[in-house]
Amino acid sequence: SPDQQPVNAPGLTCRLLCVLPSLLSSDCLTANIVKSHRETCQYRVEELQALRWKVFSREEVLAYQSKSVEEMWQRCAYRLTDSIQYVVEFAKRIDGFLELSQNDQIVLLKGGSLEVVLVRMCRSFNPDNGTVFFEGKYGGTEVFKSLGCNDLIASIFEFSQSLCALHLSEQEVALFTAVVLLNPERAWLQDKEKVARLHSHVDVAFKNTLQRSHRDTMLSKLSQKTLQLKSLCLLHIDRLRSFLELRPLLAHSLFPPLYHELFT
């Protein structure tokens, strides 16, 4: 119509640019990592939350507590190994991971797969009552009593509780687990520089994502979590050693081959 304002093309472009998110190359990597996480996270987070009402009964908890130490270690080792297999699949789907040497892929998975499982565990954790989704229902630390490592279990549950308090989005869990996995400081890497480059790409992608959602403060909180992860993994190895010292002939028959290869 004649009384319409003349369109100022450059001004309009400026305004549009201000409201459109600018696409960075790191967004591509973020999308790849979020998709890889979604495809390999075992259970969707909405599914897990919908199951929170399913809690082990007193009798079921007692049944777990009356199992032998060996049976409970075996069960947990199987659950853990199962979760680790999904982490291996996650790693393989991250752009650039399969371009690393086979040695370095193995070094990163050996050093980082349990850390990733422990971060992912916060998705299966209900912070309202301190229970975790294990073998079909939610249970507290008392379910794991017969493992005989209450300190390790308590530390793992505390870690989950504190991670839940950060209210990480699925995107943040995906990027944080990728950062944890691609740690260039792992011993025995052949091409540390190549891992460091890949790690810094993911780090930039993570920082950009956090900045956009005004969650920059998350970075310092998560670097604290990285230290706690390291000590949890050392504690797991230590408790495993004590368990095996008393049962030297049992290791091979009890544990799944992958668990054996990763931790013994």
| Contacts with ligand MHQ, residue ranges (CB under 6 A) | 73, 76-77, 79-80, 83, 117, 121, 124, 132-134, 144, 147, 152-153, 156, 236
Closest approach, Cβ 43 to ligand MHQ, in A, equals 7
Closest approach, Cβ 224 to ligand MHQ, in A, equals 20
| Closest CB to ligand MHQ among residues 27, 70 | 70
| Closest CB to ligand MHQ among residues 160, 209 | 160
| Closest CB to ligand MHQ among residues 109, 117 | 117
Closest approach, Cβ 169 to ligand MHQ, in A, equals 18
Cα angle 48, 53, 59 (rounded to 5 degrees) comes to 115
Q: In the structure encoding, which two tokens stand for residue 96, read together? A: 């650039």
Rounded to an integer, what distance in angstroms lies between the CA atom of residue 251 and that of residue 260?
A: 8
Which one, of 118, 125, 72, 107, lies nearest residue 254 by Cα? 72
| Closest CB to ligand MHQ among residues 107, 132 | 132
Closest approach, Cβ 129 to ligand MHQ, in A, equals 15
Closest approach, Cβ 133 to ligand MHQ, in A, equals 5
**255 Cβ partners below 8 Å, 6+ apart?**
73, 74, 77, 81, 264
- 222 burial type by CB count under 10 A (0-12 exposed, 13-18 middle, 19+ buried): buried
Closest approach, Cβ 222 to ligand MHQ, in A, equals 19
Cα Rg for the chain, rounded, in angstroms?
A: 22
The half-sphere exposure of 216 on its side-chain side, counting CA atoms within 13 A, is 4
Sign of CA dihedral 16, 17, 18, 23: positive
Q: By beta-carbon distance, which residue lies closest to ligand MHQ? A: 76
Torsion of CA 90, 92, 97, 100, to 10 degrees: 140
Rounded to an integer, what distance in angstroms lies between the CA atom of residue 60 and that of residue 143?
A: 9
| Closest CB to ligand MHQ among residues 30, 124 | 124
Closest approach, Cβ 39 to ligand MHQ, in A, equals 16
Rounded to an integer, what distance in angstroms lies between the CA atom of residue 122 and that of residue 153?
A: 14
| Closest CB to ligand MHQ among residues 15, 44 | 44
| Closest CB to ligand MHQ among residues 121, 175 | 121
> Taking a C-beta distance cutoff of 8 angstroms, is the pair 180, 226 a contact?
yes
> Taking a C-beta distance cutoff of 8 angstroms, is the pair 54, 138 a contact?
yes
